[in-house]
Amino acid sequence: MNNGFVRVAAAIPELRVADCAFNISKMADLIRQGEAEKAQVICFPELSITGYTCADLFFQQQLLADAEKALNELQLLTFSTTAVIIVGMPVRIQSQLFNTAVVLQGGHVLGVVPKTHLPNNNEFYEKRWFSSATTTDIQSIYLSGEGVPFGTNLLFSDGKFSFSIELCEDLWVPIPPSSQHALHGADIIFNLSATNELIGKHSYLRQLVEQQSARCVAGYVYASAGAGESTTDVVYAGNGLIVENGKIVAASERFSFEPQLIVNDIDIERLQADRMRNSNYANDKSARSYQIIKLEDAHFTHFDLRRTYNKHPFVPALTSRDTSCEEIFSIQVGGLAKRWSHTHSETVVVGISGGLDSTLALLVCVKTADKLGYDRERIIGITMPGFGTTDRTYSNAVNLMQSLGITLLEIPIKDACLQHFKDINHDPKVHDVVYENTQARERTQILMDIANQRNGLVIGTGDLSESALGWATYNGDHMSMYAVNSGVPKTLVRYLVDWASNQLDAISKEILRDILDTPVSPELLPADENGDIAQKTEDIVGPYELHDFFLYYLVRFGFSPAKILFLAKNAFAETYADEIIEKWLKIFIRRFFAQQFKRSCIPDGPKVGSINLSPRGDWRMPSDAIAFSMDSEL
């Protein structure tokens, strides 16, 4: 495998009904193309050697003999290929005929899988010609001059990934064979099919393949008969689909008269990570035994990915923006509403800096008050200007609170901090971590004490990305009574605030637009000579879009640093140089491990997406674990 990926192909060849020699020659063309594109498994449609629509010709001795002769020829043509080839053909065993998938590699037949569920309706009469796999207990057959495994319980594996096969109608039954295949270890399901076209059927088919792939937590490769089939009564469109855990990553052009090879990569490590985290995954595994068929390594260990990766995995697609943002806000509001009403608090208290995080927290507080029918004046927003506060952020904080109609308090912290410096004998001219953290802790003390005065809850503003990096002052902004943003990464914070800006009045929208354009900063160091922010977070810890990408793949799938770097280079190829990505990944890994002690005691807060870092649920990690070695991994 290449960084956990396997390259697969769904092949839709040019075809003539009952012309096996012609069909094999055209299949060989696509196999050579697949080899050139470094495909490791190439799957052809159902009965692809003869054609699916041969009907009563399947009873003809000549067609069956031609099919086996063509298989022999295909073996010779593919003797020097490394890819695994899956073809469809009729196979006669004694007095029965089976619709089968034949698996080849290096010119040898590795196994034969018969179809289990045979359609017998107004369009298809397979039971007229073929027997179901359930009608025989034969486990091996003689084909192409050698004995080969036969059955529906064959699992093909090279030790790194495994696949199994089902045929067409097998997918359309209540419990497809692929369900058991996956439970017994198949990472990818290959389906040789011949599905005709009807109005609305294609949409249903795509949903069916997506759902089965997701239900099995598997890759699914679907190759269906194309335009060369007979159109006596129905039409075939040549559907080729490559799906990974419910998501289509590649699809053919339907109704094409040209042969097609749909090639893409399936992330086996991602599938295995999801299965490992699902403790119920194998609960329904049958006692049926599977026969493991050994594959030779296809040797294609290095290739450029066909897939592109989203730079912002936490951010919903723009096509579903309204629905996604409303749902995220509803989760945050639902969490805070329960906590506010449960504690019988009169107020909520939130520090407003004029930055993104506190803005999102304030918006959640406002929506929660409205949902509960509370006066917005029960929200106490406090701006606490310090040594690094700029006019821009101060004005945005004040103006936003006024536009939203909450209670506004202003409590400067400079004098209190200077007194503290004096108490601990610290030179205020030394702008070190003491200088910075003093301000953060002073602000938290004010928030907590005001909450005591006003029977309130302190609402945390820190986000998931800051928690991952430990970019918070311990017992400063690290602490609150309910952290509404704790499950929201920085890239998603920006997305939510941007969306919210279009939901508010013109004045509030203008303020939010300026907040979005303001550099991310804790503003704990003095402004520059122009009065602008001097301390920019992303200059210090790195771009949040990179860190969110690293966080997603580290926590969600448990990928190694090498795999994360590989994916990041793919996603950010046009944004950052490789050495820049590697630099920030090293910093992320170091900080993520070193700062776990802060996450071990973070406040309650609602989980929003697929990952969270709460020590009570999603993420349980020892605070003194050794960070992964980047030198040996990269």
CB-based contacts of 366-374 (< 8 A; 24+ apart in sequence): 366/404, 366/406, 367/329, 367/333, 368/333, 368/336, 368/337, 368/340, 371/333, 371/337, 372/337, 372/340, 372/341
Which tokens is 143 given? 């084909």
- Rounded Cα gap, residues 502 and 363, in angstroms: 13
- Listed in order, strand segments (DSSP E) in 150-244 are 154-157, 162-167, 188-193, 219-224, 240-244
Distance of CA 135 to the CA centre of its chain: 41
| Neighbouring C-beta atoms of residue 376, cutoff 10 Å | 15
Annotated active-site residue in 14, 38, 43, 115 = 115
Hey, which residues does 262 pair with through a beta bridge? 10
Q: Is 43 a catalytic residue?
A: no
| Neighbouring C-beta atoms of residue 136, cutoff 10 Å | 16
Q: Is 168 a catalytic residue?
A: yes
Q: With CA atoms as reference, report the closest residue to 400 among 510, 256, 312, 548.
A: 510
Annotated active-site residue in 14, 35, 46, 210 = 46
| Neighbouring C-beta atoms of residue 453, cutoff 10 Å | 11
Q: Is 490 a catalytic residue?
A: no
Which tokens is 399 given? 């103006």
Annotated active-site residue in 168, 325, 365, 417 = 168
Which residues fall within 8 angstroms of residue 304, CB to CB, at 6 or more apart?
A: none
- Listed in order, strand segments (DSSP E) in 79-226 are 84-93, 96-105, 108-114, 140-143, 146-149, 154-157, 162-167, 188-193, 219-224
Residue tagged 């042969």 (tokens):
259
Which are the catalytic amino acids?
46, 115, 168
